[in-house]
Chain A
Amino acid sequence: MSEHRRPRIFLVDDHAMFRAGVRAELGPAVEVIGEADEADAAVELINERLPDVVLLDVHLPGGGGQAVLGGVTPHHPEVRFLALSVSDAPEDVIAVIRAGARGYVTKTISGDELLQAVHRVHAGDAVFSPRLAGFVLDAFAGMAGVDTLAANLDPELDQLSPRERQVLRLIARGYTYKEVARDLTISTKTVESHVSSVLRKLQLSTRHELTKWATDRRLV
């Protein structure tokens, strides 16, 4: 990975306790350049300080994580977001992902894993939890052919390749990227590119299963 310097992190969470906990867990491996406990303040500070990675709570006063993404990404697409959520229910997270976050992790994640996720997002890759991988498999279920014709889907965006499916299946089974790579005898880099391509589909596809979450406002 291309970490010439420590990633500069911005924390957005309405619980001071949690922010302190994350700070302590990440320790000296990252540089925390700011914190915010609600959406408006977060947008203002992030646009001003331009961190590498924003750790973003999904459930946030003032419009949720989506509001922050909406206020930052159009102006500064280089700022990358990693969503954090207490529940790992995909419906909580899918809207944030579609708004531009590069992945999500649950708040129960260990310090090491969180750090790994931060580095991954910083490097431009996607972070998929097993639960998210499972959800994507579910949402993109239905094979090529009949389905495509019936639902008028774009095979480029609305379908997973067999390889992507394999990768997601292993992630859903709890494999790390490294273990996925070993199991499929491909490089970790290839696994990362498959996951990134799935992330792109997840963000851009117009499949009903995905747009449903974006329009439902039951998150906040």
Chain B
Amino acid sequence: MCGGLSTTTGIDVTLVRIAFALLTLASGVGILIYGLAWLVLPLQGENASILSRALTDRRGIRLVIAIVPLFVMVVLVAGALHVGFVGSFVWPVFLAAGAAMLIRRNASEEEKVWINGELMPMLHSGVERHPRWKLVGRVAAGLVLGIGGLSVATAGHAGNGAIRSLAGALLVIAAIIVIFGPWWLSLARDLLSERQARALAEERAQMAAHVHDSVLQTLALIQRSADDPRQVVRLARAQERELRSWLFEGRSPGTIGDDAATVAEGIDVIQRQVEGDHGIAVQVVVVGDCPLTDGLRALLDASREATVNAATWSGANQVSLYAEIEPDVVTLFVRDRGRGFDPRSVPRDRQGIAHSIRGRVARCGGSAAIRSAPGAGTEVELSMPRREKTA
């Protein structure tokens, strides 16, 4: 909006923004001007503003005028019933409603989408499941309650004013709840389902990482030892056991689990597991030690994955695993002198690096870097900040 104003007036956009901010802070006039500008100025890429279109929208104007008698009727009825205050707000309400209708009719497509998305649910919520008359009934009931409440609150005699105004306020609140309640409910529902969807996506990512770590790695091993039936059977059995314990007992495969309480113990577990499963020497060096946290468990899981990768793909007969525990960070290096690869040529759908290593560490606030080149071996550097200090 400020951009538009600056292009029409030729004033620098930053200046316009600052002016708006100041005006808004000072008196709220800024917001008013902003709204006016929205109506008057054409949207970028269009040649007519909402207001100019509205003024030429004959049908719209006719529609607005058509409602006038309705309001006149309301005012008359109110006058007859001696609730004079109705007259004082009927006209503003009428003008606002008419303007809102014209704006909606003449807003650009983009703005219509916004208006429909944000404001219309107020009126339409629940319509899909309930027939429209229910909505009309609800709004009518709300209006009756609201008007009744207002009249009770204001038309009373001086004597019992407090009780009356209290009752009136309650009725008005009830009216608001009747009219807007379903909309609020649906908003809350949306928020909830959005959160659920996010949790689900995260769960899926973790599950994909697990499946990759266990099943896909084992399948790769089975392919490589296809000419050794006994080894194939052994791998398949071990994988079956692991998968069962994951599915039915909830123990995660490819994780350190509860066998270890500190980083050094966790690395010992990795060394044992990888040396046992892959017949490769794991040279372990650990400097310092500290208790495991969730983040450090993720770090260990990722380094286990990097070690398994080295054992499976590098062709080297030894992997070096070096961990240094410093007061504020734990750094881990997994290095092999195997065949290496070109990190840029790895397909996107390969889980190993993306999810099992990078994703795992990143989810807990750590980082991963992979250095490799064909023929020059591979080094994976993982680090995780230690948020909870354990001296």
| Chain A residues with a Cβ under 8 A of chain B | 108, 130-131, 133-134, 137-138, 141, 169, 172-174
Contacts and interface: CB of A to CB of B under 8 A. Distances in A.
A134 B335 contact: no
Interface in B285-305: 285-288
A129 to B, nearest CB: 9
A108 B320 contact: no
A134 B281 contact: no
Which interface residue of A133, A141, A173 has the most chain B CB atoms within 10 A?
A173
Contacts of B288: 138, 141
B333 interface: yes
Nearest to B337: A174
19 contacts: A108-B281, A130-B283, A130-B320, A131-B284, A131-B285, A133-B285, A134-B286, A134-B287, A137-B287, A138-B288, A141-B287, A141-B288, A172-B287, A172-B324, A173-B285, A173-B322, A173-B335, A173-B379, A174-B335
A174 B287 contact: no
A141 B324 CA distance: 11
The 5 closest A-B pairs by CB, nearest first: A174-B320, A134-B285, A173-B322, A172-B285, A137-B287
Interface string B125-136: 000000000000
Given A130-B320, A173-B379, A174-B283, 15 more contacts: A108-B281, A130-B283, A131-B284, A134-B285, A134-B322, A137-B287, A138-B287, A138-B288, A141-B288, A172-B285, A172-B322, A172-B324, A173-B322, A173-B335, A174-B320
A130 to B, nearest CB: 5
Which interface residue of B284, B288, B322 has the most chain A CB atoms within 10 A?
B322
Interface string B148-168: 000000000000000000000
Nearest to B379: A173
Contacts of B320: 130, 173-174
Interface residues of B, number: 13
Contact of B285 (A108, A130, A141): A130
Interface of B is mostly: strand
B355 to A, nearest CB: 25
A169 B287 CA distance: 10
Contact of A137 (B284, B324, B333, B379): B324
Nearest to B281: A108
A172 B335 CA distance: 11
B272 to A, nearest CB: 15
A134 B264 CA distance: 13
A195 B64 CA distance: 90
A174 B287 CA distance: 14
Contacts of B286: 134
A94 B379 CA distance: 29
A169 B286 CA distance: 11
B281 A174 contact: no
Which interface residue of B285, B287, B288, B324 has the most chain A CB atoms within 10 A?
B285
Contacts of B324: 137, 169, 172
A174 B284 CA distance: 9
A50 to B, nearest CB: 35
A173 B281 contact: no
B373 to A, nearest CB: 13
Contacts of A133: 285
A147 to B, nearest CB: 13
A128 B379 CA distance: 21
A131 B324 CA distance: 12
Contacts of B379: 173
A94 B24 CA distance: 73
Contacts of A130: 283, 285, 320, 322
B34 to A, nearest CB: 56
A174 B334 CA distance: 9
Nearest to B317: A110
A130 B285 CA distance: 7
A169 B322 CA distance: 9
Nearest to A131: B285
Contacts of B322: 130, 134, 169, 172-174
A137 B324 CA distance: 9
Nearest to B285: A134
B318 to A, nearest CB: 8
B334 to A, nearest CB: 9
Interface string B252-290: 000000000000000000000000000001011111100
A119 B285 CA distance: 25
Nearest to A141: B288
Interface string B316-343: 0000101010000000010100000000
A28 to B, nearest CB: 25
A153 B333 CA distance: 31
B287 A173 contact: no
Contacts of A141: 287-288
B274 to A, nearest CB: 15
Contacts of B284: 131
A60 B140 CA distance: 99
B263 to A, nearest CB: 13
A172 B288 CA distance: 13
